[in-house]
Amino acid sequence: MTNTLTDQLTRDLADRAATLLRGLGAEPPEDGELTARTPITGGVLATLPADSPESVDAAIGRAAAAFGAWRTVPAPVRAAVVRRLAELLTAHKTELAQLVTLEAGKIGPEAVGEVQEMIDICEFAIGLSRQLYGRTMPSERPGHRLMETWHPLGVVGVVSAFNFPVAVWAWNTAIALVCGDTVVWKPSETTPLTALACHTLLRRAAADVGADPEVHQLIQGGSAVGARLVDDERVALLSATGSVRMGRIVAPRVAARFGRCLLELGGNNGAVVTPSADLELAARAIVFAAAGTAGQRCTTLRRLIVHADVVGPLLDRVAKAYQQLRVGNPLDAGVLVGPLINESAHTSMRAAIERALADGGELICGGEPVPGFSEHAHYVRPAIVRMPAQTAVVREETFAPILYVLTYHDFDHAVALHNAVPQGLSSAIFTGDQREAERFLAADGSDCGIANVNIGTSGAEIGGAFGGEKHTGGGRESGSDSWKAYMRRATNTVNYSTELPLAQGIQFG
């Protein structure tokens, strides 16, 4: 594409972004030092002001002040804000999804799916608002009641990544709000416009139901802005999604001030394919999990561990499907793989493939840039590399569509290979053998936070707890009882007798 055409397309996309923002109720931002780009052309959509240290402190202050009253609003009443947010998201689904496409480069169906995920978590949170259950335990003493109460925690700092620029915010915010917390959100500096849109919708939802809009604050900028959130004593919980590198910096700093962390860091997700697997189904699942979202999900399938007897027929199917994948402008119907987010993602992808080949890997397909786009955009064909061993590059997460293929002969070895990486987010087994499936899910099976059978590693539903072990950080967000991370537990012993028996039968005096 010529430079003139690219510039024209970027201008059109920038206009479209401004129109979408207005449709979502947000005024296009004033100029500033933060740059919102579109990976579709690599060009600039808008610039906007970044927060200063003072404005971050002030935002945290407003969230802390709002918490004082918000925590006493009954949880089912707090849910009204989330219900209204769900209504607004439903009404503006297409607009918000398009903004996600412009800013993160997701194809239409995946961007719409992401907004659907937001609506789903809102519904979950609304129901949850009547189910923030504490237990009652039998007391060992007569005339006593022993129970626990869950209380709002405080200000929750949410740090989110570019690849799920809106859903991960919603997972945290919908749950935090019904739990009685207030939120300060630091989105990825790569996706400030979608953040502005979500913030505007949420503040409007609060205003519409008569709640305090200050329960949600948005701070924009780079790592310096995030760092203030990390170090601020008023932030009770820091929920951070991003790289292991980021987690290594954040976790000790939050711990040093005895704050809580909920970390959702990198994954290096693997799938074991056994001889009894339905190869047709496995191939379909593998293609979506490995190439979908241009390999830029934290749940993306990065390692295939295939039994030697079926590796040939499986790879034939997967490689054939890869050849048919349309890579291109995510606004075009029929495109399944959009661009990488930026040049650095492309450089990492190239470097990883080179290292894999130097380790004796064989490039089955992909890896090359797709011609015909702006020189500042990064469209690549998803790659498959067959590896002789799980070398260092395979044990690292490269946030791009590279699928490494390893083979095994013995099931125990497959499980061991699967677990022999630092990360522990998502995993899958494809098998028709119940023993193998159960073993994969058992204590000595997959060591990940997510372990699936006959389904890929990505695309989790919101109803389950989401997160992983080891270098993935150990946090759990979204469904099940993840809400407990957003509340504080008080244990209460109530004596309704006229005696004062001491626990453990102690006699004192």
Residues lying near ligand UN1 in the complex (CB under 6 A) are found at 117, 163-164, 168, 241, 297-299, 458-460
Helical ranges in 359-443 per DSSP H: 392-395, 411-419, 434-441
Helix (H) or strand (E) holding 251: helix 244-256
Task: For residue 325, give Cα distances in angstroms to 215, 227, 448, 490.
Answer: 44, 40, 29, 53
Going by the DSSP 8-state scheme, the letter that residue 410 receives in this structure is S
DSSP for 254-303 reads HHHTT-EEEEE----EEEEE-TTS-HHHHHHHHHHHHHGGGG-STT-EEE
SS3 content of the chain, % helix, strand, coil (to 5): 45, 20, 35
Least distance from ligand UN1 to the Cβ atom of residue 191, Å: 13
- Tell me if residue 179 is catalytic: no
d(CA 257, CA 255): 5
Q: Max alpha carbon distance in the chain (Å)?
A: 91
Min dist CB 428 to ligand UN1, Å, is: 12
Q: Which of 87, 167, 90, 175 is nearest to 125 (CA)?
A: 175
Closest approach of ligand UN1 to the CB of residue 201, in Å: 20
Which residue lies nearer to ligand UN1 by CB, 13 or 238?
A: 238
Alpha-carbon span 197 to 134, nearest angstrom: 36
Cβ within 8 Å of residue 362, ≥6 positions away? 385, 386
Q: What is the DSSP string of 429-446?
A: EE-S-HHHHHHHHSTTS-
Identify whether 438 is a catalytic site residue. Answer: no
Nearest to 250 by CA among 236, 231, 271, 237: 231
CB distance 43 to 37 below 8 Å: yes
Catalytic annotation, residues: 264, 298
